Structure 1
Amino acid sequence: MSVYDYKVKTSSGLTAKLERYKGQVLILVNTATKCGFTPQLDDLQKLQDKYGEQGLQVLGFPSNQFDGQEPLGDGEITEFCSLNHGVNFPLFKKMDVRGDEAHPLYRYLTSEQPFRGFDMHHPTAKLMVSIIEDKHPEYLHDNGIKWNFTKFLVDREGQVTARFEPTSEPLDMESDIQALLEHKAAVTE
């Protein structure tokens, strides 16, 4: 099993097979346009720009499951992210990423990389945990997505290698990304 076994809907409603990204290093991230972590879109795009030609592809999966922080429609999300954060990586159709209605892709991702805690040194970590404890305490007792901007790193074979919670900045993933990108170079030489 790998991420390549899953299909998702594009923002325009077409079915897309993730196998189209076979051989690339992927970052899969659940996004929202009205979240305190939304500025992470800027650094996700920086990673896409810096490593895209080497085989990195960022994939965004909008979700409105966390305090209604994604109220926009699918086309509006794409436009907002492009105009306000320069995003040119794919943003898919809004979906559930946790709970009984979670998309199968997200059930797979969270089963492959369970929750290991938050970086409590992040400036908004205490506030986010406080909100979760107050409004959604059940989120803290499983491996499901805890909030917007949970990032999964996937190797060129489609295997989920790491999970980065919202309190991990995208640029904190850079050494892991470089290692996965260099892996192919070492194999093909």
Structure 2
Amino acid sequence: MLKRWCAVPVLLMALTGLARAADCPELLQGSLPKLRAKESIDLCQRYADKPLVVINTASFCGFAPQFEGLEALNQRYKAQGLEMLGVPSNDFKQESKDSAETAKVCYANYGVTFTMTEPQKVRGDGATHLFQVLAAQSSAPKWNFYKYVVDRQGKVIANFSSLTKPDDPEFLAAIEKAIASKPLKP
């Protein structure tokens, strides 16, 4: 009898996990390792029902100074629920192979406080699931500092090239639209 009762919590946890996966938008399924940390980011748990900006970054790119403007956006909109996720990538040969150096550029040089992942592939067949879905919903990044604005339902509502500065009015309007979007669950 005791064995049966011990199985109930395990079964309930498994069913809860399945229900959560079913509720989670395709874009947010999976996890990514956090930059210079021992933890992983469960994308669904962290970002479900939240407006999100995803940026593929590179430490040695000429667009790296955009980190400052992106951090300013993070500070400006985080009280309204906006989340930002930076995903370093060496797909364009401008990211360090040493994640300690990547972290120094982001955190020390530019003062980034939004979440950053360990470097990931963001283009092609080997791209991380997040970027495969971003590409399917809009387009794959054509260079570093490509910006995706995702609504609370996990849908890309706009994407912007590296040339788009963080204070661009169209980019800001897309962020405000994502913030105003309705969550999946009422």
The two structures share one fold, judged by TM-score above 0.5: yes
Partner of 1:155: 151
Query: What is the CA–CA distance in structure 2 between the aligned matches of 1:180 and 1:105, rounded to whole Å?
Result: 18
1:180 is displaced (CA, Å) by 2.1
Question: Where do residues 113-132 of structure 1 align in structure 2 (5 Å cutoff)?
Answer: 113-114=138-139
In the alignment, what sits opposite 1:10? 34
Structure 1 pair 2/160, CA: closer, same or farther in 2 (3 Å)? farther
Deviation at 1:157, TM superposition (A): 1.6
Higher relative contact order (CA 8 A, sep 6+): 1
Q: Normalising by structure 1, what TM-score?
A: 0.76
Give the 3-state SS of the residue equivalent to 2:115 in structure 1: coil
CA contact (8 A) 1:2 1:159 kept: no
* Paired residues for 1:92-171 under 5 Å: 92-114=117-139, 144-171=140-167
Query: Deviation digits for residues 100-150 of structure 1, max 9, x if unmatched?
Result: 211121111011013xxxxxxxxxxxxxxxxxxxxxxxxxxxxx3211001
Q: Which runs of 5+ in 2 are unaligned?
A: 1-24
1:28 paired with 2:26, answer: no
Moved over 6 A (4+): none
Q: How far 1:64 sits from its partner (Å)?
A: 0.9
2:22 match = none
Secondary structure of the corresponding residue to residue 82 of structure 1? helix
Gap regions ≥5 residues in structure 1: 115-143
CA shift digits 1:57-78 (9 cap, x unpaired):
1100000111x21115223322
Larger Rg: 2
RMSD of aligned residue pairs (Cα, Å): 2.0
Q: Does the CA contact (< 8 Å) of 2:157 and 2:174 recur in 1?
A: no
Contact 2:54 2:86 in 1 (8 A): yes
Q: CA deviation at 1:13?
A: 5.0
1:29–1:151 contact (8 Å) kept in structure 2 = yes
- The residue type paired with residue 159 of structure 2 is R
Please report how far the alpha carbon of residue 52 of structure 1 lies from its aligned counterpart in structure 2 after TM superposition: 0.3
TM-score, normalised with respect to structure 2: 0.77
Matched, 1:90 2:111: no
- Is residue 2:173 matched to residue 1:175? yes
